[in-house]
Structure 1
Amino acid sequence: MSKVVLITGGSSGIGKSIGEYLTQNSYTVYGTSRSAEKYVNHPFKIIALDVKNVDSIKKAVAQVVLAEGKIDVLINNAGVGITGPIEEIPAEEIQHNFDTNFFGPINVIKAVLPEMRKHNSGLIINITSIAGFMGLPYRGIYSASKGALELLTEAFRIELKDFNINMANIAPGDFATNIAAGRYHAPLKDTSPYKKYGSVLNDIDEHVDNSSDPIAVAKQVLKVIETKKPKIHYKVGAFMQKFSIVLKFILPDSVYEKMLINHYKL
């Protein structure tokens, strides 16, 4: 029997790329979307799931278990972007970001764990972000939500070790996806004291537009699934994006902060 994989947010972008690649490699894949009815001719099956709704999560997990008898791999991929000066981002948008990027994955994990424990095996992969390793200017909320998920995995792994359930993070850098289209960004205001936000926003969009194919993330996912003892943290992206994490840990804080200020021309 092929392994059964559940991917949140499998309708487009990185999630779709992962689902297609795993399907091509003989895995049974279920992706999710809040609007599953739109994806009848998708390369793999899409079922309804809203990561902000616990009942929706439970129904989706039950649907997969009923059809396949198990869930071998969960990939927490659903996420949203957010940009803006932290002071000017409405509280409800901050809450929405954490509900999707952090609390959502926690609730999906909680829903699949009892099923994985029944089979005494399982793997959970959280798609985080290289941005989660550092507090990026005008992306602070996004950095915080993804960084929280990175740390959560470290604790979860230890708690799950007695059940033969593994957990790992894969942190992508910038990849060519449609994340910018669904991202909340604080409006540019003439009255705002944060005059440099506009140029940083342009820089962020340019990096996404000129980024690599997300197939690189999909290939990393397959490697992790087929690894007997996955590591905690994996990074996928351009060399300098991955190297920036190394610099974060070896440079003095003030030097690293200055490097970010220079990079964003702030």
Structure 2
Amino acid sequence: MTQSLAKQISEQLRDAIMSGELKADDRLPTEDELAARYQVSRPTIREALKRLAAQNLIRSRRGPTGGTFVNRPSLEDASQSLTASATLLASMDQFSLTEIADARHELERTCVRLAALNPDKSVLKQLQQELEQQQSESLSDEEFCASDVRFHRALVDACQNSMLQFLMYAVIEAMQPVTNMVVYRFRDRVDVVAVHQRLYQAIEQSDASAAESALDELMVYLKARFRAAQDWKASQS
């Protein structure tokens, strides 16, 4: 019963924060005051506050000026929360591989176009470093997949659009490792690196059309690998 009440109270407080009724840096009432307001025990209030803290919506501070305050979330904090939720949903098969690939394709296509329109030298250097690492024959499958994630994260960074970055970080950090685990046996590194190289060159040369075409080619290839992986899995059952 305590858990259920704590959940209800945390949701009400969360709604107040999201609606702006409780603003960033506002001080929440004390535990005693909240317990009296909701007519519950202090342990129930503590549990409700723990739920909000786990979502990074509030913070506690000790001392004479201490208390519990509404957080001022950063883009990184919000992105991490979205990534955690996306990872959980992906692990529970709430998204199909096709849905993940289609969403990634559409969003990342816009990212590479924007990146090519205004290439960033520091990002180009990072892309080049990842390409050099991916070409190493001694690289393990796990290391190649990690480099693949970093390469596409850099592509998103290069678009210089905070909203796209916020959405794509969840796709890349949560979804791409999942899809990599599925298709790594069915893809050829040489093919992937070749397309990565074309993506890099297109952005370096400020050729947005070529960057989009290279990404299209990569996603067609990966979707075919997804189907091969699914067919293999079906044949084993």
* Structure 2 length-normalised TM: 0.25
Whichever structure has more helix as a proportion of its residues is: 2
Whichever structure has more strand as a proportion of its residues is: 1
